Amino acid sequence: MNKIIQFMRRNYKILMVIIALCIGLWSFIPREKSSDPEKDKMLIELLTFVIEKGHYSPAVIDDAFSKGVYKDYLNALDPSKRFFLQSDIDEFAKYETQIDDQIKSKDLTFFDLTYTRLMKRMEESKSYYKLALEKPFDYKQSESINTDYEKLPYSKNIQELKERWRLQVKLSTLSSLVEKQKLEEDLVKDKSKTLEQRLNEYRENQGDKLSPESEKKFISDFEKRKNQAPKTFEQLEEETRESTLNSLNDNFNFIKDLNREDWFSIYINAISSRFDPHTSYFAPNEKEKFDVSMSGKLEGIGARLQKKNDFTEITELISGGPAWRGKELEAGDIVLKVAQADAEPVDVVGMRLDDVVKKIKGPKGTEVRLTVKKTDGSIKVITIIRDEVEIEETYVKSSVVEKDGFKYGIIYLPKFYIDFDDQNSRDAGKDVAKEVDRLKAAGVQGIVMDVRDNGGGSLKTVVDIAGLFIEQGPIVQIKSAAGKKEVLYDRDAKVQWDGPLVVMINEFSASASEILAAAIQDYKRGVIIGSKQSYGKGTVQNVIDLNQFVRGNTFGDLGALKTTTQKFYRINGGSTQLEGVKSDIAIPDRYSYLKMGERDIDNAMPWDKIDAADYKVWDKQNNFDLTISKSKERMSNNAQLNLIDDNAKWLDERNKENIYSLNIDKFKAEQKALDEKNKKYKPIIDYKNSFDFNSLPYEVDEINKDSVLKEKRERWHESLSKDIYIEEAIHILNDLQLENNKGLTSKVKKEKLVKS
């Protein structure tokens, strides 16, 4: 999740004290070049000192802390348990409660032991997968594999480890084989189609016009396939073993390129993250990537990735990017393989996230093919043409829609953005204010603020945005590591929008999004709708450059530390930590039953509360309770929402299934059953509401001059027209507006009676 960027300079006071202390503490470091182990020792001392002095609530470095580091570190080194033996773990176990002592004494014994042993086991593992791929697999044999690595025990001996590798490699080749067989079947079907038919299908699947180069290549490939005889089972089986061998060799070559410093960063992060999930160490190259990510543009597919055990998961699609335009890749998809154009796919399971990203990213106009596992368990190959991805799409945008003669506005805010170094640059607060003015000029009678999937950002902009909808008053309370409490206020008495308001959230609305939703809810200013509760991140992080702490540093770049320095609270005194913000109207979604929030992380900081701030509840919106009641009644009779809830339960069940048959007939039957089950839920994807969404007049003028912007807005409006949650938000606005009108009519009648 995105960190909250702290706005007030005075919040760095405690860190400045730490800097002064650290300069004194490490100013004696010799100027001559030190060995890596000496740098590692200093880094441990530096990190633990900074965290203990600057962290909001630093954990005690004791035996319990040591056990947590031990568990997290070993899981990070060998998440799928395909390297270490049980005898290795038995040898490591004596250090389970000694890591705390080693941290304090700058002792690297445990790290050195695990690092050396891992290098040895990885080298040995090369022979295991090569042996497994020497001859054809028997896919008629009745056997299966359990991929629940967390519960899987370590192998007792080498023979058992070899068998584990054999099963894992067989699963990889089996999925590839079934995929290749399907492609061969499609090839036969393609031969009955004309080039024009296939070209049109390809254009439609890409969701974009093909470049001349891509079209030329497609035509060439089509002609080759036309004259190509179908491959036999034996040919396909041999191809899958060859490609799997090449993928594993590539994977191990990537691992070979890692140096001791890379592995030490894993150890350091196992220590850092035990203080809380959002405290982490950025190695020099990671800090550089973090800085580059702020530039606003990149060339690739437009998807954000994260490591999930041994797998790489798609966490977000960047609006306007090629993956977003293609409509096939989704958040939650697991990337299994990556192929460049027509090259053989490379298995990326177990590969470093950085290396997976390098394979997926590439120059504009080039092709990449991703083999992904969908959330329902099915396997799919997705082809994407890379393009320039503009982070510009994280900026606010708005749309208008009509219902029952009323006009309503939708404001979508993906991030609370700001540039502290340039006061004249765009920021979310100023941009939302502009959109509100534009919507008012367009004559809207209600506004939806959509912060779904918004992971946070600038704290200042949250205060500015919340202030648009209330009279002056507190927005959020902040408590620092020193225990000092501060209340951030909207001090402008002007209310930019005083009409009906709905705020939309989901499980991925975090941090700054939760502050906004909580403030609107506490003031009873608007209705909060969406997931049962938001993510639950109620902490503030600062990124600290570690190089500033050491005088006369001869070790080179030391990287940076992101650490939790503050906690924020609602104006009613409650924290959003763990609990998040509970929706006034909870709507089922696909992820309702999956564990995805802060509350599902074992060492997350606890929930607590402080005294409430002094604030006055908004009294200009009548009949909240009636509106909420009508919405719940409407949803209970909505077949589409009931289908979504059923799908969510099924996905939760699928998520718990980790046994895969390695018999080709059973494997195909399982995939076919998944496809059949998915047909039941196809209406979820095909759903369309009855509303038409349009851009504001100023944007229509811009669209007429910019074909790319036109496409982006058309795609957004299309997604809104398929969004059942937006549909319900509009119904709620309509109920609020109608009830307001009734209240005004009643008030006018009473005034007339009094006058008469």
The residues assigned a catalytic role are 511, 522, 537
Please provide residue 644's backbone torsions phi and psi, each rounded to the nearest 5 degrees: -65, -40
Q: How far apart are CA 525 and CA 627, in angstroms?
A: 13
In the block, residue with structure tokens 């938000």? 729
**DSSP β-bridge partners for residue 388:** 299
Q: Is 142 helix (H, G, I), strand (E, B) or coil?
A: coil
b/e per residue 169-204 (b: at least 16 CB within 10 A): bbbbbbbbbbbbbeebeeeeebeeeeeeebbeeeee
Which are the contacts of 565, defined by CB distance < 8 A and separation ≥ 6?
6, 11, 14, 15, 54, 55, 56, 480, 481, 540, 541, 542
CA distances 386 to 38, 362, 368, Å, are: 43, 7, 7
Q: How far apart are CA 230 and CA 235, in angstroms?
A: 10
310 closest CA partner among 163, 170, 147, 172: 147
In the block, residue with structure tokens 């564990």? 595
Cβ(478)–Cβ(424) below 8 Å: no
Q: How far apart are CA 340 and CA 336, in angstroms?
A: 14
Q: Which amino acid is at 568?
A: F
In the block, residue with structure tokens 């009955």? 192
H/E element, 628: helix 624-636
Q: How far apart are CA 176 and CA 473, in angstroms?
A: 60
583 closest CA partner among 620, 624, 532, 538: 532
Q: How far apart are CA 730 and CA 268, in angstroms?
A: 49
The two beta strands, 527-530 and 501-505, are parallel
Which are the contacts of 42, defined by CB distance < 8 A and separation ≥ 6?
26, 29, 34, 106, 550, 555
CA 70 to chain CA mean position, Å:
26
b/e per residue 360-385 (b: at least 16 CB within 10 A): bbbeeebbbbbbbbbbbbbbebbbbb
Q: How far apart are CA 239 and CA 231, in angstroms?
A: 10
Cβ(139)–Cβ(247) below 8 Å: no
Which regions of 342-445 does DSSP assign to beta strands (E)?
Answer: 346-347, 367-373, 379-385, 387-390, 397-403, 406-412
**DSSP β-bridge partners for residue 144:** 661
The two beta strands, 387-390 and 379-385, are unpaired
DSSP string, 229-243: PPPPHHHHHHHHHHH
Q: How far apart are CA 163 and CA 167, in angstroms?
A: 6
Largest CA-CA distance found in the chain, in angstroms, rounded: 99
Instruction: Determine the number of helices (DSSP H) and then strands (DSSP E) in the chain.
Output: 24, 21
Which are the contacts of 152, defined by CB distance < 8 A and separation ≥ 6?
81, 146
Per DSSP, 609 falls in state: B
Cβ(496)–Cβ(444) below 8 Å: no
Four-point Cα dihedral 522, 525, 530, 533, nearest 10: 0
